[in-house]
Structure 1
Amino acid sequence: MVTSILPLELRGAVVRRRGKRLLGPVDLTVGSEGFTIVMGPNGSGKTTLMRALHGLQRLTEGEAVWAAGMEAVRKRQAYVFQQPVMMRRSVRDNLAYPLLLHGAKKADARAAAEGWAARIDLTEALDRPATQLSGGERQKLALARALIREPELLFLDEPCANLDGRATRDIEALLKVEHERGTRIVMATHDMGQARRLATDIVFLLNGKIHEMGPAEPFFAGPATPEAGAFLKGDIV
């Protein structure tokens, strides 16, 4: 039986840059189930928190504690950026690369790539350079590239921020399926409607700290703090 990498705990996590505190102190536990949405105004620390959880951001103070060793953690989590990075290769090669990197046979990797291309409606683009895709197609490719190794935990930083409605619907549909299949998801978004559609729980950041968190339904029905209430109304906080 494979040991879970979760829960992940941030304990007293602080991030400073050039003497300025960007995040913290933060205490947060990411359990084994759920679709967590991280919300907050611009500059509240959403991206810094996501990067700290994933391990891309070094903590100035505190620690991130996983339930498994770092080798397992690196293999079983993935991160999708707001602006996806495309390798200068075909769509097929972009999809197959994570599997090849971890020792999969070329034929198996190509078959998996073709399967995922079908899921994200890019079969006809398999041999096109990934850099020629539209913004929505790139984001779907980045998401499929992250999911092709079946991570236990997926981080997404504003994945639909620059996309039209159709591309956003496609990505949300894919995320819902993966969540139902058991993938633990933590996602930052500025889109209130998207948060209502996807979240099981909310982390609301303000000034680099967790101002409020809990199940999504009561948060949206009646936030516990005036600041969260103002944010939900679209006011500046």
Structure 2
Amino acid sequence: MLHCIAGTCKLTKGEIKYNGKNFISEKNNISLMMQYPYLFNCSAKENIIMGLKFRQMSLNDIELRFENYAKYFDIGEIINKNGKRLSGGEAAKVAMLRTVIQETEVVILDEPTASMDIESTIKAETLIKDIMDDKKTIIVVTHDLYQAERVADEVIFMDKGRILEMGEKNSIFKNPTNPKLRLLLNKIAIK
């Protein structure tokens, strides 16, 4: 589904709507971070800024944007480290920065903090909230219910490819109607 939204995979049926209109991904309006990101055989910094270079931004603008986003994570120790040699958590930080630095209208993050430690997860969530404050649309896929509750405005709970429940975060977390979701959120006792 994420690949369909991002335009890297074609729909076999149905349609994607964004702001009430048929959504067709354009390379400059959407960015995608997959759970297991591919990092290139170059430094962490080069991995982060590669998309900006591809868009032929000026080196000065690239550096300013890099500094703006790099401050979210303590990446000084890995900035020159080869992307292929990063740990899972380091790779996740680099991939997340590479995605958000594009400053696209829609940002898709698939399990962005799954490999991160607690401190980095908190920083990643701060980054997500800051991007949301800039009125960008962020789609975060997570199995971490607490994370969904912390960062989301709207929530869609899915199971086996089907939507169980969707709506405003507080309504879903405080008063779910789906029995599976009620059980998962400890709204009913296990028998």
Higher RCO, 1 vs 2 (CA within 8 Å, ≥6 residues apart): 1
- Tell me how far apart the structure 1 counterparts of residues 142 and 78 of structure 2 sit (CA, whole Å): 28
Q: Describe the superposition over 1:38-61 as per-residue Cα deviations: whole angstroms up to 9, x where unpaired.
A: xxxxxxxxxxx3222222332222
Instruction: Confirm or deny: 8 A CA contact 1:52 1:58 kept in the other structure.
Output: yes
Q: 1:122 to 1:162 in 2, by over 3 A?
A: closer
1:59 has 2:11 as partner: yes
Gaps of at least 5 residues in structure 2 are none
- Matched length: 187
Letter in 2 for 1:105: S
Which range moved further: 113-122 or 60-69?
60-69
Which residue does the alignment assign to 1:94?
47
Equivalent position SS for 1:79: strand
Q: 1:132 to 1:210 in 2, by over 3 A?
A: same
* 1:1-237 correspondence to structure 2 within 5 Å: 49-65=1-17, 67=21, 70=24, 73-233=26-186
Q: Tell me the CA shift for residue 148 of structure 1.
A: 1.2
Which range moved further: 187-196 or 227-236?
227-236
Q: Describe the superposition over 1:73-130 as per-residue Cα deviations: whole angstroms up to 9, x where unpaired.
A: 2211111111121111112211221111112123432443344333322234322212
- Tell me how far apart the structure 2 counterparts of residues 124 and 206 of structure 1 sit (CA, whole Å): 39
Instruction: Confirm or deny: 8 A CA contact 1:86 1:138 kept in the other structure.
Output: yes
Which residue does the alignment assign to 1:11?
none
- Tell me how far apart the structure 2 counterparts of residues 57 and 79 of structure 1 sit (CA, whole Å): 12
Q: 1:119 to 1:196 in 2, by over 3 A?
A: closer
- Tell me how far apart the structure 2 counterparts of residues 69 and 213 of structure 1 sit (CA, whole Å): 20
Q: Percent identity?
A: 29
Which range moved further: 188-197 or 104-113?
104-113
Q: Normalising by structure 2, report the TM-score.
A: 0.85
- Tell me how far apart the structure 2 counterparts of residues 167 and 120 of structure 1 sit (CA, whole Å): 7
- Tell me how far apart the structure 2 counterparts of residues 206 and 134 of structure 1 sit (CA, whole Å): 30
Which residue does the alignment assign to 1:12?
none
- Tell me how far apart the structure 2 counterparts of residues 114 and 94 of structure 1 sit (CA, whole Å): 14
- Tell me how far apart the structure 1 counterparts of residues 166 and 109 of structure 2 sit (CA, whole Å): 18
Larger strand fraction of residues: 1
Letter in 1 for 2:7: G
- Tell me how far apart the structure 2 counterparts of residues 69 and 189 of structure 1 sit (CA, whole Å): 23
Instruction: Confirm or deny: 8 A CA contact 1:120 1:141 kept in the other structure.
Output: no
- Aligned-CA RMSD value: 2.4
Q: Which runs of 4+ in 1 moved over 6 A?
A: none
- Tell me how far apart the structure 2 counterparts of residues 174 and 69 of structure 1 sit (CA, whole Å): 25
- Tell me how far apart the structure 2 counterparts of residues 65 and 175 of structure 1 sit (CA, whole Å): 22
Q: Tell me the CA shift for residue 131 of structure 1.
A: 2.4
- Tell me how far apart the structure 2 counterparts of residues 125 and 50 of structure 1 sit (CA, whole Å): 29
Gaps of at least 5 residues in structure 1 are 1-48
